[in-house]
Amino acid sequence: MINEERVKLMTKLAIYESTKGKKQLNVSKYYKRDYVRYNMFKTAVTSTIAFLILFGIYVMLNAEELVLRLNDLDIIHEAVKIGILYVVFVIAYMVIARLVFAFRYEKMKPDVVIYNHNLKKLKEMYDKEEKELKEKQVGRGVTLIDEDFNNY
């Protein structure tokens, strides 16, 4: 006998799992703090790479001027300026990343709570059906051993 309510619930769960649930269920494995920190770390790495690429492009575009000024260039002063620019660049991206990933986590949380609630409801349906089946078979004089029943 097919339980229509259970089928509807299972369909809802399957649709969620195959659409936005793929990403959200992976995110929900983390605590918010861990999720945000992990993504901030990835942002720090990628923003460092981006800064190096941008710096390389700047050097290539201004190579002639840099070569002409090479003898007059104060390397320590320029290195400090580049270091400060790098720190500001990375901190700006880290602040943005923190805001974005905290927002994303909070946005997906209600969907995962509903999904977990529906899973719990589905489990209760199965438990109720299992209990009724046991009672029905025991009522007919058939004794069930719990271990044998759980294997099915």
Between 142 and 40, where is the model more confident?
A: 40
CA Rg value for the chain: 29
- pLDDT range class, residue 48, cuts 50, 70, 90: very high
pLDDT score for 147: 57
DSSP the chain: ---HHHHHHHHHHHHHHHTTHHHHHHHTTS-HHHHHHHHHHHHHHHHHHHHHHHHHHHHHHTHHHHHHTTTT--HHHHHHHHHHHHHHHHHHHHHHHHHHHHHHHHHHHHHHHHHHHHHHHHHHHHHHHHHHHHHHHHHTT----HHHHHT-
Q: What is the tens place of the pLDDT at every residue in 52-75?
A: 999 999 999 999 998 888 888 888
pLDDT score for 101: 95
Please check the confidence at residue 43 and state whether its pLDDT lies above 80.
yes
Q: What is the tens place of the pLDDT at every residue in 88-129?
A: 999 999 999 999 999 999 999 888 888 888 889 988 888 888
**Among candidate residues 46, 24, 58, the one with its CA nearest the CA of residue 96:** 46
Tokens of 62: 């201004």
- pTM of the predicted model over 0.75: no
Q: What is the tens place of the pLDDT at every residue in 26-40?
A: 788 889 999 999 999
Q: Give the residue carrying structure tokens 């992990």.
A: 38
The residue count for the chain: 152
**Among candidate residues 87, 88, 105, the one with its CA nearest the CA of residue 37:** 105
